[in-house]
Chains A and B, each alone.
Chain A
Amino acid sequence: KAGVTQTPRYLIKTRGQQVTLSCSPISGHRSVSWYQQTPGQGLQFLFEYFSETQRNKGNFPGRFSGRQFSNSRSEMNVSTLELGDSALYLCASSSLTGETGELFFGEGSRLTVL
């Protein structure tokens, strides 16, 4: 059974640009959640989607957005990139909601903003 796939694995952007990250969940999983991980802050929740609906959103500015498609694949977008957006972005899928089901994480997308 294939795991959670995130693309791209690494990317470099400059300030002011925008970026789109993709996450393909484990087959059959309807929940996809996104996290930002930095050395200082640890893992921070961005948002969760379940059956194409955003269930919850973390405390991030509106520059961070996401969506989920009918096949459960999800994308997150960051507009007007700032240096502080440099981080490892992780997505996780679950057969249930993120709070009740086990989370299976992808390998992450490492974003560097110059």
Chain B
Amino acid sequence: KNQVEQSPQSLIILEGKNCTLQCNYTVSPFSNLRWYKQDTGRGPVSLTIMTFSENTKSNGRYTATLDADTKQSSLHITASQLSDSASYICVVTSENSGYALNFGKGTSLLVTP
């Protein structure tokens, strides 16, 4: 069964600090990997989408990395802000027929003053 595991489940950091969220997957064959940010009570918003050939992608202070060999991805947040407090969801897409999006359960990030 294709799985997407995210760690840590929750994280608290001080404003201005950096942090890294992890996503490990067993999805195969791999098509793309996405990171979403979801504020409480809102819909998820796309941060990055990476295909097999991409190993780094940035969106402002967010940088995602992908190692397709080890099936690991990370999302690095630089100089965190209070507005970064949210849930971050990793989604891995398979090339299999049928519905192919596999969702992680997310990492809940709290940035404190």
Chain A interface (Cβ < 8 Å from any Cβ of B): 4, 41-45, 48, 55-58, 88, 90, 92, 98-100, 102-108, 110
Contact = CB atoms under 8 A, between A and B. Distances in A.
A90 B101 contact: no
A43 B106 CA distance: 9
Nearest to A6: B43
Contact of B100 (A88, A99, A107, A108): A99
Given A42-B104, A44-B103, A56-B99, A108 B42 contact: yes
Contact of A105 (B44, B98, B104): B44
A99 B104 contact: no
A56 B98 contact: yes
A42 B106 contact: yes
A99 B103 contact: no
Nearest to B100: A99
B21 interface: no
Judged by DSSP, the binding face of A is strand
Contacts of A57: 99
A102 B104 CA distance: 17
A98 B106 CA distance: 19
Contacts of B100: 99
30 contacts: A4-B43, A41-B105, A42-B89, A42-B103, A43-B44, A43-B103, A45-B101, A45-B103, A55-B99, A56-B99, A57-B99, A90-B43, A90-B44, A92-B43, A99-B93, A99-B94, A99-B99, A99-B100, A102-B46, A102-B49, A103-B34, A103-B44, A105-B36, A105-B43, A105-B44, A107-B42, A107-B43, A108-B42, A108-B43, A110-B41
B8 to A, nearest CB: 15
B86 to A, nearest CB: 13
A43 to B, nearest CB: 4
Contact of B46 (A100, A103, A108): A103
